[in-house]
Every structure is written in C-alpha cells, then in structure tokens.
Amino acid sequence: MTSASAAENCLGWAARDPSGFLSPYKFSRRAVGSDDVLLDIAFCGICFADIVWTRNKLGHSKYPLVPGHEIVGTVRDVGTNVKHFKVGDHVGVGTYVNSCRECEYCNDGLEVHCSKGAVYTFDGIDVDGTVTKGGYSSYIVVHERYCFRIPENYPLASAAPLLCAGVTVYTPMMRHNMNQPGKSLGVIGLGGLGHLAVKFGKAFGLNVTVFSTSISKREEALKLLGADNFVVSSDEQQMMALGKSFDFMINTASGDIPFDPYLSLLKTAGILVLVGFPTEVKFTPGNLVLGMKSIVGSVTGGTKQIQEMLDFCASNKIYPEIEIVPIQYANEALERLIKKDVKYRFVIDVGKSLK
C-alpha cells in the first residue's frame, strides 16, 4: 500500500449551492485502509440523482457536493487485507459505499436496505466522519465489499450505467421472476432505466412491449432496442386492446401517470413494479384486488445482485446506449437530462477529460 495515495489531492467537479452548477474542486480522500480499494476513475455515468442532490431537491445536500454514483475505473492501490482485487483490475462502484454489515439485510447481501441505512456514494457520512464525494472526480477509496469486478471483455464506458440504472431494473425483474421465457413484459417509459429493462427483457426471452407518451420513440424501441411492440400510452384504443395480456410491467417513469389503465393490462396475479419516483400513486383498489394483482417497489440492488448483473450483461452482450461526454460538458448534460434529451445515458469520460 502506497503512503502517497492518502496525501494527494483529488480533483473533482462540485456544486457549491442549490443552483447545482458544477465547477472544478480539489479535495482530499481518506487514506487507504486495510480493507479498501483505491481506483482511478475512468468513467462515471450521469444519473437523475445527480440533479436531485446537486440542486438540494430533498433539502439535506451538503456542499460542496461532488455527484456521481455510476463509477468504473482501474485499481491503483489495495489495502493489506483486500482479497478480491489487485492493482490493474477493472472495478465498478455503485450507489453506496458502506453499510453496517451486521443486520439481516447486510447478511443477506441486500446492503442497500441496511437497517442502519446504507452510506451513499456521495453526500453520505463516511467511516471517518467526512462527507462522501462521488465519481465526478479523479479517484475514489472504497471498502472492497462495495466494489464490483467488471468482466475483462466488457467495455468500461458501457459498464458505468449498469451500476445504477442497470441494477435498478435487473433486481426487481429477478426478484419477481421476470426471467421466464415466453412471458410478457410491459416497460413504461423509455429513458435510461427503461431502455435497459427492454434489453434485459429480451435477453430473458420475454415478449416486450414499450409504453411511451412519445410516438417519436417508436422506431428506436422496435429497431434499435428490439422491443416486440410499441404503444402510445395516451391512445385509449391501443391500451384497451391489450387488456389482461401482461404477466409483468415495470414503471421506470417518474412522472405522475394514471395507474388504473396499466393495472387493467395485467393478467390475473400480474405484477407492476415501480422503480421511478412519481409524486403520488393513485389507483382503484378493485383493480388490484379483483385480479389478485400486485404493485411493488424496488431500488438498486445488493452486492450479490450487482455482480450477478454485471456478469449477465457480459455473458449476454447487453450494452447500454450511451453518449460519452467530457467533464467540462457536465452542466449541459444535466440540463439535457432534465429535458430528456439523451439516448439513453450520459457517461463522463473522467480519465481523459479531468486533468
């Protein structure tokens, strides 16, 4: 373990106030502990969470705030007790960097649901009492438990969005058995999460239908992403024609939508998974009760699921659709993300542009 790694300055981009405007920022990372991995960051995906936190939408952002929790890079240093990684390995870090490691959820590999609260990759409180800072930076120090091996044959830039967007849709699909070939899946919303839900659905052998308010997404849904069907969700005739025809649906949209029309599309015992964050969920209880249907929620995933998902993507050649940008474009990228002007995930080339 090199002593220099603890002392050197880390270069990042940070927001200083709720305007969310990002600009260069130098800070120090904690020293590499015996169980830690230090990785030089090559790429970092841009998630809507970056907007929520940099602009203090939840009211508890701690400035200066360095966002980014879809992190991939190369190991530069490891602690003396680290067993699973060595210098030169390709490694990813997702939405959290610590947990209590003692509760029932941690013991079950579901650390994101830690009873004492998982420590988020940015704007959380680290083991040394400092505020965690994310992947819009040159390097990061993380306990090896919360690092994930990126398969050698998988491109690093493509791996970044998998650490949040990918696992957010993969986890509930696996948990609720949405990997049964021949079953039908409806994907509501076609953004960063939705397009990966389509790719996973097709890899699982499902019949996949995309629901969107925008007819302009039809061509890409069918041709680029391989969906079997595309429905304009505001078209009542199209919706009614599909009544009771889906085994599963996954809502990746965060806008407020009427849920009754989608519940009517589920077969008996069908499942609607919510991974987006609308301001409210309204539905008629009878539409849930009479068909023995379920609405369930899900966020990211535990460490076992994340590694499993990365390996699955490598084995099945599942690659997110990405637009690679330099760190200097981060503010514009966040504005475009708000306008939904991205197909389908921005990834910052940290290694080449952050100097």
Q: 326-349, pLDDT tens digit by residue?
A: 999 999 999 999 998 998 999 999
CATH number at residue 93: 3.90.180.10
pTM: 0.93
End-to-end CA distance of the chain: 24
Residue 234 confidence (pLDDT) above 90: no
Q: What is the DSSP string of 243-287?
A: TT-EEEEEE---S---SHHHHTTEEEEEEEEE-S--S-----HHH
Q: Could you tell me if 73 and 156 lie in one domain?
A: yes
**Is pLDDT of 31 > 70?**
yes
Categorize the per-residue pLDDT at 254 as very low, low, confident or very high, splitting at 50, 70 and 90: confident
Strand boundaries in 190-236, DSSP class E:
207-212, 229-232
Q: For 146-150, 203-207, 236-240, 275-279, which range has the lowest pLDDT when averaged over its residues?
A: 275-279
* pLDDT of 303 above 70: yes
Instruction: Please say if the pLDDT value at position 39 is more than 60.
Output: yes
One domain for residues 276 and 178: yes
Tokens of 204: 């699982």
| Whole-number pLDDT of residue 8 | 56
Which of 78-82, 112-116, 125-129 is predicted with the least confidence, judged by mean pLDDT? 125-129
Q: What is the mean pLDDT of residues 90-114?
A: 96
Measured between alpha carbons, how far is residue 106 from residues 85, 113, 123, 170, 288 in Å? 21, 8, 21, 19, 32
In this structure, the answer to whether residues 269 and 193 fall within a common structural domain is yes
Which 3 state secondary structure label does DSSP give 166? Answer: helix
Domain shared by 127 and 173, yes or no:
no
pLDDT in tens, 2-28: 444 444 589 999 999 999 999 999 999
The pLDDT assigned to 196 comes to 97
Note down the domain range covering 198. Answer: 166-297
117-151 tens-digit pLDDT = 999 999 999 888 999 999 999 999 999 999 999 99
- Do residues 21 and 34 share a domain? yes
Domain identity same for 23 and 119: yes
Whether 83 maps to a domain, the answer reads yes
Whether the bond between 18 and the residue before it is cis, its omega within 30 degrees of 0, is: no
For residue 29, give the nearest of 138, 117, 120 by alpha carbon: 138
Question: By C-alpha distance, which of 94, 96, 140 is closest to 114?
Answer: 96
Whether the predicted pLDDT of 352 surpasses 60:
yes
Is the confidence at residue 285, as pLDDT, over 80?
A: yes
Radius of gyration of the chain measured on its C-alpha atoms: 20
Section 277-284 average pLDDT: 85
What proportion of the chain, given as a percentage, has pLDDT over 90? 85
How many domains does the structure of the chain reveal? 2
Percent share of the chain, pLDDT over 70: 98
Please check whether residues 116 and 197 belong to one and the same domain: no
Final residue in a domain of this structure, among 297, 313, 329: 297
Here the tokens at position 208 are: 């996949």
One domain, residues 192 and 326: no
* Residue 81 sits in the same domain as residue 134: yes
Q: 17 and 68 share a domain? A: yes
Does one domain contain both 155 and 215?
no
* Cis before 136 (ω within 30): no
pLDDT digits (tens, 9 = 90+) for 150-206: 999 999 999 999 999 999 999 999 999 999 999 999 999 999 999 999 999 999 999
Does residue 118 contact residue 96 with C-beta atoms inside 8 Å?
A: yes
Please tell me whether residues 186 and 114 are part of one structural domain: no
